[in-house]
Amino acid sequence: MNKYRLTQTRSQLLKLLKNTPLPVSAEDLLQKVPVNKTTIYRQLTSMVAQGLIKPVLFTDRTLRYESADRDHHHHLICTNCKKIIDISFPENIEQTAQTSASAQKFKINTHHLEFFGLCQNCQ
């Protein structure tokens, strides 16, 4: 009853996305899997729809994806070497923001938070 078929290509891509701890771009995948770029883009779209992966947009405007079975977290991004480090934020940001948002009758559902700076190597 699952309309998604587990093709060779799909499993290879999923394996890579599951095993790579940090967000992967379409181009990264293209270099590692012998498949047409059209297929990469279509598979990424399909996997997002299926809830297997999540898109993460970086400020260099590259769109990357990471496995969806991760806990909610954020990223530290080195502005020099582009290294990405996962980080979890201790407080409930949405709850804090909802207080100000309520004044405008805005209902917050999700948020997106990234930090920029220098990694150990680059400082």
76: Cα within 13 Å, side-chain hemisphere: 9
Quick one: what does residue 120 bind among its own copies, Mn ion, Zn ion, none, with the CB cut-off 5 to 8 Å set by partner type? its own copies
- Ranges within 57-76 binding DNA (CB under 7 A): 62-63
Would the annotation count 119 as a binding residue? yes
Question: What tokens appear for 62 in the block?
Answer: 């590259």
Q: Does 100 bind DNA (CB under 7 A)?
A: no
Q: Does 105 bind its own copies (CB under 8 A)?
A: yes
Residue (11 or 79) nearer to Zn ion, CB? 79
60, 56, 57, 55: which is closest to 80 by C-alpha?
A: 60
